Structure 1
Amino acid sequence: MGIHSKKKGLLVVLSGPSGAGKGTVCGALRTYAPELVYSVSATTRKPREGEVNGVNYFFKTRQEFEEMIGEEQLLEWAQYVNNYYGTPREFVKEQLEQGKDVLLEIEVQGAKQVRERFPEGVFIFLLPPSLKELASRIRGRGTETEEIVRHRMSAAEQELGEVEYYDYVVVNDRIEDACDRVRSIITAEHCRRERFINDQPNWLEGM
């Protein structure tokens, strides 16, 4: 008979301080790990030219979004510049039940909300090689004043203290290496005894 290969997908949460390179690593993973599904956020902001509902975002009215909050349909949510942003629980659930791994790129505070509502997720903390390199990356954007850089660095140092709440740490020194480490973590998590037993409760009968 053999052991069935069917498995439930993983929710992989990639987080870390601003400037650690979360967006860059996730962008590269689209090439290195095309099998990953990227979580689509819901928002109340208006669509920009070329954006597609259900692809770039799930575009919601303010009333619809607040109903989602009240009905606990979001893994996390926040308000930024008078608009709501959040991660719909149902979209993630559907992908996981199909056996697909879902990647969620999110800030540290949002990751804490996700852990509270979905503790079985895999939480990866992305680190810069050093604080000096982190400051260099923030300045390299060319959009921040020195005062804002100092503010971001102060916030980043506080966020670094949250590393103890994550399952894994990946240092983003080279993009290719960081992507390889993330993929290795996903492979290892699928091989965890607990997940195997949960996904294959009758595994012995299949041998």
Structure 2
Amino acid sequence: MNDSGLLIVVSGPSGAGKGTICSALREQFPNIQYSISMTTRKPRPGEVDGVNYYFADNARFEQLLAEDAFLEHAKVYDHYYGTPKKYVYQMLEEGKHVMLEIDIQGAMQVKKRYPQGVFIYIVPPSRDVLEKRLRGRQTDSDDVIAGRLAKARAELDWIDRYDYVIVNDELEKAVDEAASILKAEQCKVTRNAHRIAHTKELYK
């Protein structure tokens, strides 16, 4: 019987490098599964149901909400988004790790339901660096960038709700720190009850 996998929750402001770090972790830890979210928005070209998202209409999503079927959910621009519990719990029970890359509000919902998760906050080294990264994308207007910077500052007040903080100044160093966190969490006694019991049997 396997011990449960890790539920890894990663948050941070836009421009912090969350996606890059998460992708690097998945290369190092093949056991990590990305959770598939459910949404009520229409599929974009190339998106596949059950691969990119689970697509549903409002009635179906609200029915699942009433059944308490989500680890976390939000409504953004008239569309629902949520993380189905069934898939996540199934993967964890199989001993696989599940990674959620979500905002603070979603992370706090997950923490209430699954406090034994590993909660990591990624932050750029300074406001100036964050602004430089956002402008370097050349995808946002000045007003949007200003809004993202203000939101990033407000989110700093939530960092103490997380288990770990990683300052993404040098990407390679940030990835190494994140990998070290996962390696340590995998070795915790509280996460290895079945492995410990098996080891004790081998010493009889």
**TM-score, with length taken from structure 2:** 0.91
- Tell me the CA shift for residue 10 of structure 1: 0.6
Residue 8 of structure 1 corresponds to 4
Give deviations 1:122-142, integer Å, cap 9, x for gaps.
Answer: 000111122211111122221
- Tell me the CA shift for residue 160 of structure 1: 1.0
Matched letter for residue 177 of structure 2: R
Q: Secondary structure of the equivalent of 1:103?
A: strand
Give deviations 1:39-90, integer Å, cap 9, x for gaps.
Answer: 1111111112221211111111111111111111111111112111111111
CA contact (8 A) 2:3 2:194 kept: no
1:91 to 75, 79, 87: 87
Q: Does 2:125 match 1:129? A: yes
Residue 175 of structure 1 corresponds to 171
Q: Please report the RMSD computed on the Cα atoms of aligned residues, expressed in angstroms.
A: 1.8
Residue 24 of structure 1 corresponds to 20
Residues in 2 aligned to 1:125 and 1:71: alpha-carbon distance in whole angstroms: 30
- Tell me the CA shift for residue 25 of structure 1: 1.8
CA contact (8 A) 2:41 2:79 kept: yes
CA contact (8 A) 2:11 2:121 kept: yes
Residues in 1 aligned to 2:106 and 2:4: alpha-carbon distance in whole angstroms: 23
Aligned length: 203
Identity of aligned residues (%): 48
* Shift in CA distance, 71/198, structure 1 to aligned 2, threshold 3 Å: farther
Q: Does 2:42 match 1:49? A: no
Residues in 2 aligned to 1:40 and 1:176: alpha-carbon distance in whole angstroms: 27
Q: Secondary structure of the equivalent of 1:139?
A: helix
Residues in 2 aligned to 1:152 and 1:28: alpha-carbon distance in whole angstroms: 25
Residues in 2 aligned to 1:137 and 1:34: alpha-carbon distance in whole angstroms: 29
Write out aligned runs for 1:176-195 (5 A).
Answer: 176-195=172-191
Matched letter for residue 177 of structure 1: K
- Tell me the CA shift for residue 112 of structure 1: 0.8
- Tell me the CA shift for residue 167 of structure 1: 0.6
**TM-score, with length taken from structure 1:** 0.90
Matched letter for residue 123 of structure 1: F
2:67 to 68, 71, 85: 71
Q: Secondary structure of the equivalent of 1:125?
A: strand
Q: Which runs of 5+ in 2 are unaligned?
A: none
* Shift in CA distance, 8/206, structure 1 to aligned 2, threshold 3 Å: farther
